[in-house]
């Protein structure tokens, strides 16, 4: 598994857990940064995970607008929490990170959705992200 794939998983865990618990994402990020500092073997994945979460925090309103506009009658609060976190992560990569190819951002999110969410989540996440990618 590549360092970026590991970083996406770490970012997803942070986004998901903060959402489900109702925690402030910045506070969760600070706690994870403290933990990462004590685990040097995880440093390579931590830097990009932090970049993702910082990006989602910085552009939260725009990201949620993109998801809402392209999710075809699905409200954010009605989506499974894993799907919501994945869509936020991948939307940040698609819209705000020019270093990640569109296909990679979508494929990684779809694979995580298939693995961690509902049976229909892979197709749902793919559809929303494909529409976001086409509009940007």
Is 17:28 a contact under the CB 8 Å cutoff? yes
Longest dimension (CA), the chain: 44
In the prediction, which pLDDT does 89 show? 98
DSSP annotation of 117 = S
In the prediction, which pLDDT does 37 show? 75
Q: What is the mean pLDDT of residues 75-80?
A: 93
Residue 102 belongs to domain spanning:
3-135
* Total domains present in the chain: 1
User: Is the model's pLDDT at 9 over the cut of 90?
Assistant: yes
pLDDT in tens, 102-121: 999 999 999 999 999 999 99
**CA distance linking residue 39 with residue 124, whole number of Å:** 35
What SS3 class is residue 136?
coil
Stated pTM of the model: 0.92
The first and second tokens of residue 132, run together, are 């976001």
Q: What is the mean pLDDT of residues 6-34?
A: 91
**CA distance linking residue 96 with residue 133, whole number of Å:** 11
CATH number of the domain that residue 81 is part of = 1.10.940.10
In the prediction, which pLDDT does 45 show? 79
User: Is the model's pLDDT at 39 over the cut of 80?
Assistant: no
In the prediction, which pLDDT does 26 show? 86
User: Is the model's pLDDT at 40 over the cut of 80?
Assistant: no
The sign one gets for the Cα dihedral 109, 131, 24, 38 is positive
Q: Mean of the per-residue pLDDT values for the chain?
A: 92
Is 15:25 a contact under the CB 8 Å cutoff? yes
């Amino acid at each position: 598994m590549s360092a970026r794939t590991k970083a996406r998983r770490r970012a997803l865990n942070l986004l998901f857990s903060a959402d489900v618990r109702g925690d402030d994402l910045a506070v969760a990020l600070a706690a994870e940064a403290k933990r990462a500092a004590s685990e040097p073997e995880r440093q390579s994945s931590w830097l990009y995970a932090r970049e993702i979460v910082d990006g989602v925090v910085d552009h939260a309103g725009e990201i949620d607008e993109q998801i809402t506009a392209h999710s075809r009658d699905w409200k954010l609060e009605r989506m499974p929490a894993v799907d919501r976190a994945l869509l936020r992560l991948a939307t940040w990569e698609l819209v705000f990170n020019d270093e990640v190819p569109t296909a990679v951002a979508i494929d990684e999110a779809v694979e995580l959705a298939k693995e961690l969410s509902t049976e229909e989540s892979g197709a749902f996440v793919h559809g929303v992200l494909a529409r976001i990618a086409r509009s940007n």
